[in-house]
Structure 1
Amino acid sequence: MIIALTGQKGGIGKSTTAVSLAVAALARGKRVLLVDADPQGTVRTWGEVASEAGQATPTIVAMGAQMHRPGQLDSVSPAYDLTIIDCPPRHGEISRAALMVADIAVFPCGPTAADAWALASAIEVFREASALRDKLAGCVLITRKQGRTALAKSARAVLETSGLPVLGAELGFRVAYQEAIAVGKGVTTYAPRDASAREIHQLLDELTRFHHGQEASRGFAPQAAVA
Structure 2
Amino acid sequence: MIIALTGQKGGIGKSTTAVSLAVAALASGRRVLLVDADPQGTVRTWGDVAAEAGHDTPTVMAMGASMHKPGQLPEVAAAYDLTIIDCPPRHGEIARSALMVADIAVYPCGPTAADAWALTAALEVFREAAALRSALKGCILITRKQGRTALGKSARAVLETSGLPVLSTELGYRIAYQESLACGQGVTGYAPRDAAAREITHLLEELEKLHHGQKASRGLATKAAVA
Q: CA deviation at 1:198?
A: 0.1
What does 1:16-165 correspond to in 2, within 5 Å? 16-165=16-165
* CA distance in 2 between partners of 1:134 and 1:23 (Å): 29
Counterpart AA for 1:158? V
Query: Any idea what SS the aligned residue of 1:29 has?
Result: coil
Kindly tell me the number of residue pairs found equivalent between the two proteins.
221
Q: Deviations over 1:78-115 (max 9, x none)?
A: 00000000000000000000000000000000000000
Counterpart AA for 1:188? T
TM-score, with structure 2 as normaliser: 0.96
Q: CA deviation at 1:217?
A: 1.3
* CA distance in 2 between partners of 1:59 and 1:82 (Å): 11
**Which runs of 5 or more residues in structure 2 are unaligned?**
222-227
Counterpart AA for 1:150? A
Pair 1:81–1:129, CA change in 2 (3 A): same
Q: CA deviation at 1:2?
A: 0.1
Q: Which residue number in structure 2 is paired with residue 224 of structure 1? A: none
**Which runs of 5 or more residues in structure 1 are unaligned?**
222-227
* CA distance in 2 between partners of 1:30 and 1:214 (Å): 20
* CA distance in 2 between partners of 1:114 and 1:158 (Å): 10
- When the two chains are superposed, the root-mean-square deviation of aligned CA atoms in Å is 0.9
Q: CA deviation at 1:150?
A: 0.2
* CA distance in 2 between partners of 1:27 and 1:51 (Å): 16
* CA distance in 1 between partners of 2:135 and 2:22 (Å): 22
* CA distance in 2 between partners of 1:217 and 1:171 (Å): 28
Q: CA deviation at 1:75?
A: 1.6
**Aligned pair 1:185/2:185, yes or no?**
yes
Pair 1:201–1:215, CA change in 2 (3 A): same
Q: CA deviation at 1:220?
A: 6.5
* CA distance in 2 between partners of 1:181 and 1:64 (Å): 22
* CA distance in 1 between partners of 2:145 and 2:49 (Å): 27
